Structure 1
Amino acid sequence: MLTGLLAMTVTLMIWSGFFISLRASSQSDLTIADIALIRFVPAALLFGWLCRHKVRHIFQTPKRYLALICWGAGLPYLLLAGYGLHYVPVADGASLIPGILPLLVSGIAVVCFGEPLSPMRRAGLVFIALGVVCFVAKSLAGGQPGMLIGYAILLLASFSWAWFTIAMRVSGLSATEGAAVIAISGCGLLLTGFLSQTMTFNLLSVDSQEVMYHFLVQGVGVGIVSSLCYTLAISRLGAEMSAALGAFTPVLAALMAIPLFSEPLTGQTMIAMALIVIGALTASEVMPIPINKSKIVKKAMR
């Protein structure tokens, strides 16, 4: 369990940098496709090499799990998160994506797998829902309907990540194998976007220092280190607890955004963040909720 907690701590630091990086890219000439290229190519080279003898095992994994892993943590997720952060501040985006993850993971567990909800978990999920309502109310009160679009996109991104979290847990893939699937699928989709001319790349025309910054955060940090650490945390702590600990991301990201982007924390934002963090921790019940793997394999996603 200690290994899982250490892996999750590293993940939280990198995730905070992830939101900062995406927000910074929205104010530069870099496109989301550029960020994706920086993120997935180095990881694909590394994890592809490490898993070169495990190709058969990876392809023996049920295709529905592979598809959810590719979608939930790969290029589609990155595109959703990136576009969502064009509309909302870092604190909002960092609160919504990892913050409501326990709510979505628990909802999937109940609806699809028949898992029960304890009173403590229910209370935690209510706190999370109230936090989301506070964010929406802030947008409406401020006369910024465009932010509602951002919130909707970020909720979809979190929903995608929730399915990845569960699929990774029940797939039987190791942390390295899961990271390889995410990175290589991302590269394949990027190539498809380039050939079909549906994605724009400006990487070669951007200042090299800016590219290096995103390379360190996205390519090394998110693409390699956090992919490995989060999948390791899921295997050691479970999907529920990993999702709950991820709720600490907005606190770190919001503090980083204050000096970098001059995004002050309003009282309503802090209340919403507090509700989501408290709810996530309460819903996790400190211990991961056991999932009957054989039951899931038989019943899930028929």
Structure 2
Amino acid sequence: MECIAKKEKLLGLLAMAATLLIWASFFISLRASGQSPLTVGDIALLRFVPAALVFGILSLPKTKQIKATAKRYLLAIAIGAGLPFFLLAANGLRLAPVADGASLIPGILPLFVSSIAAYCYREKISNIRKLGISLIFIGIGLFITHSLSSGQHQVLQGHGLLLTASFSWAWYTIGMRVSGLSPIAGGAILAISACLLLPVLYTMGWVEFNLMSAPTNDVIFHLCIQGIAAGIIANFSYGYAISRLGAEMSAALGSFTPVIAALMAVVIFDESLTLTTATAMGLIVIGALSASEIIKLRPTIIRSLAKPTNP
């Protein structure tokens, strides 16, 4: 029995390692799109269309459950991790370095989730979570101070977009938690809603498409990273890691994303990793590790909120 448990844990760690590499590659891909003829709209197509097809088919048996879910939870999922989140993250990373984006989006997530849980659901914040949130605040302050002192107002604007993207993802996290939907059903909701929203934004002139005239190599690269790896594989690998390691450990390990992404950016884009950036990134990682282990709503709250209600 102990041998089986060790094997299961090892498989969970391998799945989480794959997830971290994909998440880091997600930020690298968005950063690379700024140096490509591909528009943000093109990357969104490559990101959501494959996921909509795969998760849409897999979630067909759960159609009744999805329809019975309160609309406010479906909206939190669709907006929180769908096209609005993607546009915020993509445009933010076109203005700020990869290390900043990888730190501010997943790293600040525990702060926003805790704030939403405490304000909306009156959840008490323990001392260890308060410590983690304090470290995250200090890390954010270092990022902003560094941008202001160096006159990098463009980077500061990117930080604002990235923080908004993280807040959006926090609502998705809460929405998924209280809805009771599976990751596949959630993936179908956010991907299909994004595919439906893209033509609307195009007619309004908010997004542009250049996919047909873009180099084939760029299309294949972003399709593999965004559409297949981040859009499909990471959903399965992260879900598998949670089932083997638990939500707390998986969330804690997820906070190492900025470290991996920053090291990849140094090699690929020759981005410099200053002492201030490294310190801010380290504080956010440590803060996320402290806070992530206990970010969860009370079971009674989850059961009451997960009941289908009339929106």
Same fold (TM over 0.5): yes
Among 19, 23, 36, the alignment partner of 2:31 is 23
Q: Distance in 1 between matches of 2:125 and 2:296?
A: 10
TM-score for the superposition, normalised by structure 1:
0.91
Please give the TM-score of this superposition, normalised by the length of structure 2: 0.89
Q: Which residue of 2 aligns with 1:253?
A: 261
Conserved 8 A contact 2:66-2:185:
yes
Q: CA deviation at 1:235?
A: 7.4
2:227 is equivalent to residue 223 of structure 1: no
Q: Does 1:89 align with 2:89?
A: no
What is the one-letter code of the residue matched to 2:46?
A: I
Deviates more, 1:228-237 or 1:61-70: 228-237
Distance 1:70 1:45, change over 3 A: same
C-alpha deviation, 1:246, in angstroms = 2.5
Partner residue of 1:214?
222
Contact 1:21–1:218, Cα closer than 8 Å, also in 2? yes
Other-structure match for 2:5? none
2:4 is matched with which residue?
none
Instruction: Tell whether the 8 Å contact from 2:43 to 2:222 is kept in structure 1 after alignment.
Output: yes
Structure 1 CA distance, aligned partners of 2:169 and 2:88?
A: 11
- Paired with 2:84 and 2:235, the residues of 1 have a C-alpha distance of 15
Determine which of 122, 125, 133 is the counterpart of 1:125: 133
1:281 aligns with 2:305: no
The structure 2 residue matched to 1:116, chosen from 121, 124, 132, is: 124
49, 56, 59: which one pairs with 1:48?
A: 56
2:164 to 146, 156, 159: 156
Instruction: Give 1:294's match in structure 2, choosing from 263, 282, 303.
Output: 303
Extract structure 1 runs of 4+ deviating beyond 6 A: none
Count matched residues: 298
Percent identity reads: 54
CA distance 1:186–1:6, change in 2 (3 Å): farther
Q: Is the 8 A contact 1:34 1:201 kept in 2?
A: yes
Query: Partners in 2 of 1:277 and 1:108 — Cα distance?
Result: 20
Describe the superposition over 1:204-256 as per-residue Cα deviations: whole angstroms up to 9, x where unpaired: 11110111010100010111112344456667844x66544332110000000
Instruction: State whether structure 2 residue 193 is matched by structure 1 residue 185.
Output: yes
| Cα pair 1:102 1:244 within 8 Å, conserved | no
Measure, in 2, the Cα distance between the counterparts of 1:232 and 1:171: 20
Query: Structure 1 residues 37 and 81 mapped into 2: Cα distance closer, same or farther (>3 Å)?
Result: same
Instruction: Give the match for residue 155 of structure 2.
Output: 147
Q: Secondary structure at the match of 1:37?
A: helix
Determine the C-alpha separation between the residues in 2 that align with 1:77 and 1:269: 24
Would you say the 8 A contact 1:65–1:171 is kept in 2? yes
Q: CA deviation at 1:119?
A: 1.1
Give the secondary-structure state (helix, strand or coil) at the position aligned to 2:141: helix
**Which region of structure 1 is more displaced relative to structure 2, 219-228 or 76-85?**
219-228
Amino acid at match of 2:303: S
Kindly provide the amino acid, as one letter, of the partner of residue 58 in structure 1: I
Secondary structure class of the residue paired with 1:53: helix
Distance 1:55 1:296, change over 3 A: closer
- Mapped partners of 1:197, 1:117: distance in 2: 43
- Greater CA deviation, 245-254 or 60-69? 245-254
CA distance, structure 1, for counterparts of residue 71 and residue 102 of structure 2 = 30
How big is the shift at 1:291?
2.5
**How far 1:288 sits from its partner (Å)?**
5.4
Contact 1:101-1:243 at 8 Å conserved across structures: no
Structure 1 unpaired stretches of 5+: none
SS at the partner of 2:256?
Answer: helix
